[in-house]
Structure 1
Amino acid sequence: MEAEKLLLLFSLIMLHFSSSTSRDSLKTNQTSKEGFFSPGSFSNRYLGIWYHKIPEQTVVWVAKTNDPIIGSSGFLFTNQYGNLVLHGKDDQKLPVWSTNVSVEENDTCAAQLLDSGNLILVRKRSRKTVWQSFDYPTNILLPGMKLVLDRKLGIDRFLTSWRSAEDPGFRDFSVRINPNGSPQFFFYNGKKPISRSPPWPWRSQMDLYKSTFVNDPDEKYFVYTVPDDSYLLRIIVDHPGLGLCGADSTCELTNHNRFGCACLPGFEPKYPKEWSTRDGSGGCVRKRLQTSLLCQHGEGFVKIENYSLPDTSSAA
């Protein structure tokens, strides 16, 4: 299965484009109580970014997800050092989260939320971006946001699932680049790989967006863009943590409303009960009862599409 389909498995949502917020900037010494949300029926509040003018609130980024703000207090502040600081209480004594960047003396910064969903901190003098939320992905990859593995600089940016639909705290499920052998995307439960993409290079089969993968000795990254910006796509690692179509199966994920796993000819689901709930990670096994369907007389070749090549992470 192609790498794009591995990512799209975790949920593909197409939304009409709209601007992100009415107040899209925050200057030095300004405070804001906007940008907070409470997931589901929980009263805990988080600083986040979500689509604007969408009937159902769709959060695409959360700051400091393991430390919610209790009650109705909490505000975002751009301090004198040019950093965004999140306070959980009005007394400003115990910051919950900060961008924690260094700014040159006598310079100031302003925060701005771009229509792409990227929250940036910009130096006023040089107009240089010194911090951006795109460098700190949570469970969602937006167009223009990179999944990066740079061993030289010690950078590893990957997606991590929420604990549940109502708790954005980090869970063990993640999607990240495995650089061993020919690079692949791996879906992990903790340190245990659940599923993977085929080895690089990949052949793009998706028309919804354009993807790029850079495979340099020091840096490897994946990024995708929407050609005409007429809609927004989000790629999400969902909290149930379901894996991909397992061994001896094919996967066709062009339609996120349809279960895309199918067994190869002569095979059947290894775990039919899980298969019926759209979990194909257990894969398929040779048919045990209807052996007449296996190749015997008149043997030949069957064309198989969307089949994953062997794992190369242990290859020499």
Structure 2
Amino acid sequence: METPTLFICLYFICLSVFGLSTAADTFSSGQSMKDGESLVSSDQSFELGFFSPGNSKNRYIGIWYKISPGRVVWVANRENPLTDSHGVLAFGHDGDLVLFNQSNSVIWSSNFSRVLKNPVAQLLDTGNLVLRENYSLNSDEYSWQSFDHPSDTQLPGMKLGWDLKIGLERHLTSWKSMDDPSPGDYIYRLNIQGLPQFELISLGSGKKYRTGTWDGIQFSAVPMVLHALTKLVFFNGDDEKFFSYEAIKSEYSASIFTLNHSGIIQFYTASKRSNAWNLAYSPNDPCDSYSTCGANGICRSSRASICNCLKGFVPKSPEEWNLLNWSGGCTRRIPINCPKEDGFLKLAKVKIPDLLEFWLNESMSLEECQAECLKNCSCTAYANSDVNGGGSGCILWFGNLIDIKEYEEDNYGQTLHIRLPISELGNFANQCLFL
């Protein structure tokens, strides 16, 4: 029986004999890729190889657009860098893709459970690095793929979200710095509790941004420019919930959706003529910051003072509010009269509150939703969960209403019904539903 040491020595002798051919998009068992060698996708769009980010001398395996080597879109060993240029990417004895250092220690592995008898690694034209059996080279049957393990970047065709059948979550994690691709302080992920919505989370201070819930047509905070440049796809099934996009503008040769090391979401495109990266979108509206106006406040970016209390509410701390410190939020001017009769104030074209304390029924009508809210004295607002076909489904909120933004554009946002005592509703009769 061979000892592990003898096996490794023989293994690397084989690798040194069967190197990587120039400009290939695949390599197979018995081949290897050394520092200075690379895989290139068949259409010359993407390259996989060794790189050092920024001013760092550490070495990593990554994927980048070939037109822009500095634009790295995926990193394999982001938590365990090589300290020299003697790394080797090869197949392990069970078919895993493995990165070895100079002392033959495993630095990174694809680490999948299925054993491959005749494995092949291929860099696809989409920028997806896939592993599969050699006989399935022309199929979409992958044993492992880099698209299932994003770094800080989403490419066209890549899914962000959940495969609930196997418990796989795909999310973006920022780099720690421009020189360090190890996982940083920010995560951009799909929250599927209740209605799906994307959230930008700071590991130190919680939510920084959210898209608003999926309303059956769109995420309300996704801007028109992204709809103009891309075909946005959201799949909301029982077994899988994910977001992806495809570029639709032929003049762009490349595009990326990325979460940078400072926690800023950005969408870039590159022109075929200049290959220069252009920032097409990044949230810069102060109302996009999470809970800018505090509890029971509403944010309107078109106003000089962007924060106001919802009607029927007053600043919890008038002194702080007057100093433009809105974090304390607002409180009811008059408590609701439950179990006596209350009514509802209609607020249109808004990003509905975050789903913190809520109840959801996706088959109710709006009238049934209203009646359900009135049954519970803790219910503070209600809305349809889906805007298709005039609206359907029911969301109830309990407690404070957090992170409401009003939109100026038509076809954005939803209608929220806020519970108020009858005495308050008399002041806003043209916007109210009396009960």
Q: How many Å separate the matches in 1 of 2:282 and 2:190?
A: 27
Task: Indicate the residue corresponding to 1:277 in structure 2.
Answer: none
The SS at the match of 1:134 is: helix
CA offset at residue 265 of structure 1?
1.8
Q: Residue 243 of structure 2: which of 206, 222, 236 is its match?
A: 222
> Which residue is 2:26 aligned to?
25
Q: Residues of 2 paired with 1:162 and 1:83: CA distance?
A: 25
Pairing 1:210–2:231 present = yes
Question: Which secondary structure does the structure 2 equivalent of 1:115 belong to?
Answer: coil
Q: Match for residue 47 of structure 1?
A: 61
Matched position secondary structure for 1:176: strand
Deviation at 1:44, TM superposition (A): 0.4
The aligned residue for residue 99 of structure 1 is: 110
Q: Note the C-alpha offset of 1:47.
A: 0.5
Aligned counterpart, 1:280: none
1:1-316 equivalences under 5 Å are 22-33=23-34, 34=37, 35-54=49-68, 57-89=70-102, 91-92=103-104, 94-102=105-113, 107-127=117-137, 128-190=141-203, 192-201=206-215, 202=218, 205=224, 206-227=227-248, 230-242=252-264, 255-256=280-281, 259-261=284-286, 263-268=301-306, 308-316=351-359
Q: Which runs of 5+ in 1 are unaligned?
A: 1-20, 245-253, 271-284, 290-302
Change beyond 3 A, Cα 1:114–1:312: same
SS of the aligned residue for 2:81 comes to coil
- Please give the alpha-carbon distance, in whole angstroms, between the structure 2 residues aligned to 1:240 and 1:63: 21
Deviation at 1:148, TM superposition (A): 1.9
Q: Distance in 1 between matches of 2:83 and 2:323?
A: 56
Cα displacement string for residues 138-195 of structure 1 (whole angstroms, at most 9, x for unaligned residues): 1101111111224452211110000001100001200111112211111101271121
> Who wins on radius of gyration, i.e. which is larger?
2
Structure 2 CA distance for partners of 1:219 and 1:37, relative to 1, 3 Å = same
Percent identity, please: 36
Name the amino acid aligned to 2:31.
Answer: Q
Q: Assess if the C-alpha contact under 8 Å between 1:29 and 1:78 holds in 2.
A: yes
8 Å Cα contact 2:25-2:123 kept in structure 1: yes
Q: TM-score with structure 1 length normalisation?
A: 0.71
List alignment gaps of at least 5 residues for structure 2: 1-21, 38-48, 267-278, 288-300, 309-319, 325-346, 360-435
Give the Cα separation in 2 of the matches to 1:261 and 1:314.
25
Q: Which has the higher contact order (CA 8 A, sep 6+)?
A: 1
Displacement of 1:23 in angstroms is 2.8
- Structure 1: 4+ residue segments shifted above 6 A: 285-289
Counterpart CA distance in 2 for 1:61 and 1:259 is: 26
Residues 229 and 249 in structure 2, CA contact (< 8 A), matched pair in contact too: no
Q: Which secondary structure state, in structure 1, belongs to the residue aligned with residue 147 of structure 2?
A: helix
Question: Alpha carbons of 1:265 and 1:69: their partners in 2 closer, same or farther (altered >3 Å)?
Answer: same
The structural deviation recorded for 1:256 is: 3.5
Once the two structures are superposed, residues 102-141 of structure 1 have per-residue CA deviations (whole angstroms, 9 ceiling, x without a partner) of 5557x30111111211111121124432111001001101
- Structure-2-length-normalised TM-score: 0.53
More helix by share: 2
When structure 1 is superposed on structure 2, of 190-199 and 56-65 the one drifting more is 190-199
